[in-house]
Structures are given as C-alpha cells and as structure tokens.
Amino acid sequence: MNVQTLRYYERRGLLPEPDRSPAGYRAHTPEAVRIVRFVKRAQLLGFALDEIAELLHLAGGGPDHCDEVRSMAGRPDSRLGPSDRRVVVDT
C-alpha cells in the first residue's frame, strides 16, 4: 500500500493517526491493518470512501447499528449484487 494512501485515509478520518516511534516512524496497529483491509474490500464492492466511513462509524456502534447496515446493503442504489447483499443481510 502506498504511504500517501495511508496518510489520505488518516486525513479523511478512516484511520486514526498512528503513534510514532522514537525515530519518528509511524507505528500502525493491527486494528489499522484491519481497517485498511476493510476499506479495500469495500472499494472492490463499489462503495465510495464516504460510504465506507459511514460503515466504519456504524461498526463502532455494535449490534445497535446492525439494522442500519442491513438497510444500506438492501437499498436499491446499493452497489452490492444479490449474493453480496445476502451475505450482509444474513449475517
């Protein structure tokens, strides 16, 4: 992954700004790696970064936000195909 992409995700609020090592290097956490993988998978499914940011926000809300995510996946304008939508809705 390009360093500029990571910094862009930080500026957009998709990734938290990482701690720095004593030498000044960015030390990304395993959680940041998980988020980047999620972002990339969501982009492959056709989600825009604004939509991905909303999904990440909802994911932090726990089970209370599951219905909202299912609703997003089931919207007529959703970029998910029928099999992708089934995975989200049935989860």
Please answer whether residues 21 and 27 qualify as being in contact, where contact means their C-beta atoms are separated by less than 8 angstroms: yes
Higher-confidence residue of 71 and 81: namely 71
Confidence at 85, pLDDT banded by 50, 70, 90: very low
pLDDT tens digits for range 57-75: 877 765 565 666 666 666 6
Distance (Å, whole) CA 27 – CA 29? 6
Helices (H) and strands (E) in the chain, counts: 5, 2
pTM of structure: 0.67
Q: Which residue has the higher pLDDT, 82 or 47?
A: 47
